[in-house]
């Protein structure tokens, strides 16, 4: 760590650190800019195969127009679960989400702290007993019993400083918070 | 609904219903077949852009070998959050996951009940105040305040029966359970 103040750190790790700090200042001045709404739409295809489309969101006081194309993702069950394997299972996308959220945060935090990263990888495992979702046991929950994320971080700092990046990222992770603590989920239906 | 028993229902909605019921019987007889472990690996690319790879999993008593290619997914932050928009944000993948899980379950349940589906679509919205993850407020949580899933279901059954498919799917959804109730998430790090 150098004596450079956070506000004058240069871009690092592909993070535009000056803009990041300017954004923080802007939100501090106008907290309503921090209100975001993300969205996805999904369409059933056949069997357990379906497809989500992600594009628009609201944030920083307006509808975002920066995305010029849809992101589309298939999900499916594998053959062993009587699906056609045209995509990962829905629960595997949760593992992608937690790894991605922690990694993005880690890169931002490293840049803010002036730490150059060389390589960040992670592996995520989720244990689930399907007796719950198969309706074969009321004693077994439907979801993951446990999710484990293991990071390997290579960068220009001590092992303790690199480990502290992971911990700080966890403490500021939106996906970690939702997966660890849950949130209010409302499901409703219109038929036609 | 006909008087056909569940065990003799034909394939429907792209769901191989006989195999689905045979699978349920097999798991009933050998509950250890229901123990699954799903996995993802992630690699940081630059800034908030990173990429997950999903392929192998353990389940039904063995390592799955049915997937012949990796599934890979980029995540990123959008420009307004000082990212490069090379993928959706990690939290948007949570919205895909909940829609996909509820939809896959719905198709299975409809097949088991002998209900022909014509069209199933859903929209998901997630409200999040970024004052939490930006470290600007200790009063605001990091994750979504609320997630709303709205289904439209068109099929060969009454509105009440179609709505009951959504409700049953929610009650048996792995992703719903994790997002609504949270789970044990362990994060650790090795440095090198």
Distance in Å from the first CA to the final CA of chain B: 61
CA-nearest of A39, A98, A33 to B73 is: A98
Report the DSSP beta bridge partners of residue A150: A123, B188
CB contact under 8 A, A187 and B170: yes
CB contact under 8 A, A40 and B92: yes
CA-nearest of A27, A51, A52, A49 to A39 is: A52
Distance CA B124, CA A50 (A): 14
Model pLDDT, residue B7: 53
Model pLDDT, residue B190: 84
Contacts A156 to B, Cβ<8 Å = none
Interface predicted TM-score (ipTM): 0.95
Model pLDDT, residue B9: 84
Do strands B49-54 and A146-155 pair parallel, antiparallel, or not at all (unpaired)? unpaired
B145: nearest CB among A106, A176, A183 = A183
- Reported as a single tens digit per residue, the pLDDT across B39-67 is 999 999 999 999 999 999 999 999 999 99
Q: What is the DSSP string of A176-191?
A: HHHHHH--EEEEEEEE
Contacts A83 to B, Cβ<8 Å = 104
CB contact under 8 A, A143 and B38: no
Contacts B97 to A, Cβ<8 Å = 75, 90-91, 93-94, 97
A100: nearest CB among B37, B50, B66 = B50
* Local structure of residue A32 (DSSP, 8 states): G
Give the count of beta carbons closer than 10 Å to the beta carbon of residue B24. 17
Answer for the pair A73, A93: CB distance below 8 angstroms, yes or no.
yes
Query: Scanning every residue of chain A, which has its alpha carbon at the shortest distance from the alpha carbon of B67?
Result: A85
Distance CA B67, CA A76 (A): 12
Contacts A140 to B, Cβ<8 Å = 34
Distance CA A46, CA A58 (A): 31
CB contact under 8 A, B49 and A14: yes
CB contact under 8 A, B37 and A128: yes
| Global confidence as pTM | 0.95
Model pLDDT, residue A114: 96
Model pLDDT, residue A190: 84
- Residues near B96 by Cβ (< 8 Å), separated by ≥ 6? A40, A42, A52, A54, A73, A75, A90, A93, B88, B124
- Residues near B62 by Cβ (< 8 Å), separated by ≥ 6? none
Per-residue confidence in pLDDT tens, chain B, 192 aa: 333 445 578 899 999 999 999 999 999 999 999 999 999 999 999 999 999 999 999 999 999 999 999 999 999 999 999 999 999 999 999 999 999 999 999 999 999 999 999 999 999 999 999 999 999 999 999 999 999 999 999 999 999 999 999 999 999 999 999 999 999 999 999 855
Contacts A31 to B, Cβ<8 Å = 131, 136-137
Q: What is the DSSP string of A116-156?
A: PEEEEEEEEEEEEETTTTTTS-SSS-SS-SEEEEEEEEEES
Structure tokens at B176: 């719903």
Distance CA A74, CA A85 (A): 10
CB contact under 8 A, B141 and A34: no
Contacts B49 to A, Cβ<8 Å = 14, 104
Per-residue confidence in pLDDT tens, chain A, 192 aa: 333 445 578 899 999 999 999 999 999 999 999 999 999 999 999 999 999 999 999 999 999 999 999 999 999 999 999 999 999 999 999 999 999 999 999 999 999 999 999 999 999 999 999 999 999 999 999 999 999 999 999 999 999 999 999 999 999 999 999 999 999 999 999 855
CB contact under 8 A, B48 and A177: no
Model pLDDT, residue A9: 84
Give the count of beta carbons closer than 10 Å to the beta carbon of residue B184. 12
Over A45-104, what HEC string results? Answer: EECCEEEEEECCEEECCEECCCCCCCEEEEECCCHHHCCCCCCCCHHHHHHHHHHHHHHH
């Amino acid at each position: 760590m150098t004596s450079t103040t956070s506000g004058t750190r240069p871009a690092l790790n592909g993070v535009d650190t000056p803009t990041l700090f300017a954004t923080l200042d802007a939100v501090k001045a106008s907290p309503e800019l921090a209100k975001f709404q993300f969205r996805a739409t999904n369409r059933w295809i056949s069997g357990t195969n379906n497809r989500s489309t992600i594009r628009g969101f609201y944030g920083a006081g307006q509808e975002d127009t920066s995305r010029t194309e849809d992101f589309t993702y298939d999900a499916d069950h594998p053959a062993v679960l009587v699906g056609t394997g045209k995509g990962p299972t829905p629960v595997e996308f949760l593992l992608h989400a937690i790894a991605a959220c922690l990694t993005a945060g880690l890169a931002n935090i490293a840049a803010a702290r002036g730490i150059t990263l060389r390589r960040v990888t992670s592996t995520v495992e989720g244990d689930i007993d399907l007796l719950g979702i198969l309706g074969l046991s009321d004693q077994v929950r439907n979801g993951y019993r446990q999710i484990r994320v293991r990071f390997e971080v290579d960068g220009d700092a001590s092992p303790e400083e690199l480990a502290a990046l992971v911990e700080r990222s966890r403490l500021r992770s939106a996906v970690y918070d939702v997966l660890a603590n849950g949130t209010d989920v409302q499901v409703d239906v219109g038929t036609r």
